[in-house]
Structure 1
């Protein structure tokens, strides 16, 4: 066997003389003998083998060589074929019959004995190899075979008896399963090859191993269970593996994976191609450098990932109807837009202005666009600073000139900006005109343009527009002198705003007039479609005039009309907030015209009422504070009624204080709404405590005995705080949740009258007034019966009289006041307004008068406090005089 040959060849050193031993003992021939080295010595010496394998001539040589090798193992010598020295070396341990052959070069053979028998060497070599292999197998079998077994069983077999062996499963021999000849061997059975091919099924391959086999799914397929091998077709569950779902992605970058049966394919989108070094990766195709682009000669090819675009040269713009940065873009050089004067207006000064514009147009070059911008601004400033005969034109014609300037300036600035490269441009003229312009590439950030008197905030979508591509332009120009031409321009409020204004101010609204608070500014974009912007634009105006509290500030824009003129309009523009010298507006369109602010005048309120309110509320606050301190510190009157008076005084004090200091704080809408909500709660709480006072008076009148009065006190202590503060809180919470935007008006931080929201206050007030009126009538009836049944000298009668007086005063002070407020309609509105203002502002004075100054117990307490203060002051003065006397006496004694 080949294995035996290899083991034996490790111990055999064969070296031949290339001159004298030509072709006789080559080492390569030694290796070619591997297929027959398994022959045993008996077969080598058999007659049939010698005759058929070596021929007649080699038979004698083989026998002679064999006999000589056996008789002279230890003696060096030469034999017929080749000179050999046969010995057993000490450096290698071999089985007993092993022979090692080395050429005997020290004593070369004589020339006449070179090769008398041609096959002698082959016979000797085969004999030696067979003996060595046989001895090796015998040695191994003898060492491992149990007694009674054949010692010559080959590898991959098991002993059956002393004369037979059986191959292991998966192996076979020449003679079958049972081996009876030592010359047989057990070889592996290839189950995967014919004729015993094993079927692994569809999409699977058979893999042979020593003594066995296994099946695997073909590449691109896998078992459902996730295993890697199986035995036969019955266990085959191979199905296609979707490589496109693997993580990480097998197709890299922007390549698209397409799954196929047993495989996959990576494809590239247009503009990309597969990388030759990595077939799973798509790389960009540079259409510009490869020359595969159809860009017009008026454009520059710009390569992008997966595509390309054609960009106009600096100072060039796309032809009308075409877009920049497209594959089909065709450009022309930027030209100065045509600006025509307003028709029908005769003005020499205006004619000079348009002559300067035509001169700028003739000399315009895209490379010097910035100089043209400056010349244009100077021309506009000269016209506005020295209007000349424009001042003599009628107002309507002046408005037409202003509209023409606004529209033409916007159109020319937009057109000339296309000749600018990306970046910013800022120019401030000596006359105060400011130009801020920015050319931007595509992006998604917010854009801000700032000037000394204005600021504009907008996002990229608003600047670019859905139909634009490439660089976009956003600009802002402020012209202080434009306001002269726009003086007394008409103002048109949108119907909804006009209705709100009329509903809010009613009789206070005079003829609407307006005054410019800020400079006229013009905003222009490369996006010409500014009628309905995707997102609003925010403007922040700085103005030197501070709006007065009773003035309404409006954010307006100049709306062009068909006759070449126009008017101020408010549609689409809202005021976010105003504070001192700054106002913020938000508009959903630009209309290619100016955005500015105006305000309209409201009729001033009666100054007498204003003085009465401030003086009366100030006096009322002082009296309420004194009353609250009295109710809190006077021990002689501490009872349930005093607790009710104290809570009422505190609520009215806070309500009047907030009304006096914050009712006009309408600058910040959110703050105004909070103030309105707080006033709503405090006044409702005051009326609720009034209701509790009326209930307490009624219960006290019914039960004048001490026992009954004590039970009334216990009942009121449990009831008053949850009702006094809880009921108003519930009403305000429901109102704020249902109509949060109706807290605060344009002139007052109070409830809005729109949609009847004012009844969130008037409804509870009318209900409380009705209940208090019922309590008063019942209390009056009870007191009348008590007066008729009691002696006038009894103290209870005196207390009841005082109780009746307090009930009457309480109803008048706390209930009738707001009835007068509701009656402020018709011809008597002015009278009712005076009565309401006087009585309402003096509520604190009435409470202090009725519950403090007219109470004998409180009067006694005041006298006690006054005496205590006077006594303390006298003692302090006496102590001061004594100290001075002692000091003077001490000083006099020292001098003596």
Structure 2
């Protein structure tokens, strides 16, 4: 429309500028100026709902009846017409018993809801809705009113305050309490029963839905906070009470969507009230869980005039109960050692449809994990619901549609209380890892035995460091031997605990002797002390400190020695830190000692050998650093990944290789690389070889004399002995 007007102005301007022979709104024809009919030249120049009138040299527009100009200055250029809302401006002619309904360019007078036109169209008359016998159902009495109607339910039936809905049967016996139920749960059930009975008749009235919901959540908060929900039977009573309360409260809520959050409970309820059943999808959220279904599933086969869907979540309901009917792909022997735990909040899904055991289409629940863990060989997720008949979690009818480290999507064909169950399966050590461990330990045992003999009987290397190496080798020898023979002896709980205690003691003792070696290195290199540590003090540190730690640990948590998978310290309650805490302290202290020692040695080497090349210094110090760090326990940095449910495979293999070969490393560094020890080995080998040669020479000499003796002649007789 604006484009047409612009073209018209352009044509008029060009016409006017053509030698200025004709005025605007005129066209030159046959050497004379003739008026231009703009209404014919440009159709709809005035827009919709308007009429165009030509004038001499111009035109004007007028709006049709029922329309008015959008602008105050209604001209040929800017004028457009819009509908007049007679109902809003109160310019209609409808009577008081009718309602004005605006239309385009006009209006209509219609009867109000609950009324209809009389046969003579003279006015409106009331509609008697009670003529329809199904308007209130069979269990109610219909009372017609002017423009409306009400349904009064029979005794034992209720429409939950929806006076124009069908009445359905109620059973307040659902809110009966058990004699063994907690007092607060009994009080809640009595409150719900009282509210139910108040709706149990035509004139019933009581607390509003919002008030009931608040009271219910206050009681559930107290029950969860006190920890009264324990055991399968008690959990079933609690979840039944919540589900039945939502069936009582949901239809009484006034708002289409009601949300409520307390200290331990979330809830979101959606309510629909229409003459026709609602349709489409509905999504609810409660805490870290999401619930999605369709209104068709919520309504079911019958629609009384209202429908509701509710999702309730519990923050501190962390009981796993007993496990039944949880399908597993693991063998029976592994299944017996599987541990289960809930890895999501528990939620209860309730709909107005009472037939929820076999839904026409499955519902979807999305759970956020409490602990972020991805599925692996040792972790599996299951979508479960609380089976009140068996008093346990079950996955029957629930399928895990999708899962990652943070979320699990469940698809269930029935409604109940749901959660995500995390199964922790015992990880089996790989054949390569077991082979490396056994071969390395056997080699270390042989090398440690040679170290013990060397440090004990080699007189040329006697001293404080040799004594430390001797006790270190003894502790590692016993620890490796116990580890090799008893680490997997989990069948006997007592024996497994003893094995774990011995490993705890001797590995800690080995670290204490490593600490003493670091102290001795510091005294020799940094302090330049020539005095030696007393043997009694070293034994008190090397054996006394680990003994005290083991005794305190055994007294405080004796069940921590031995697990279902290994005869080692339990991971429950951070008990493993009774070993790792002293280890970390010793490793840190020895690391400082090592750095200071290397620094001082570098200064001494630089002063003694000023012409030594930097490359050789760096290479020598690097080799010494790696070897010394291994001896002082640096390899145990990777020990944190051992016995874990999940760990870095690279770190696990590094720890296994380095720790199993620790005895071989000690033998290599302190025996084979020691010149005095090599000399002693050479002397020992020389003695052994010389003794063999002496025995061989004596044997050869005897054989020669014996073989020559019969050939000798008798000097007296001149005859041979033969």
Q: TM-score, normalised by structure 2?
A: 0.40
**Could you say which structure has the greater relative contact order, defined with CA pairs below 8 angstroms and 6 or more residues apart?**
2
TM-score, normalization by structure 1? 0.33
Structure showing greater radius of gyration is: 1
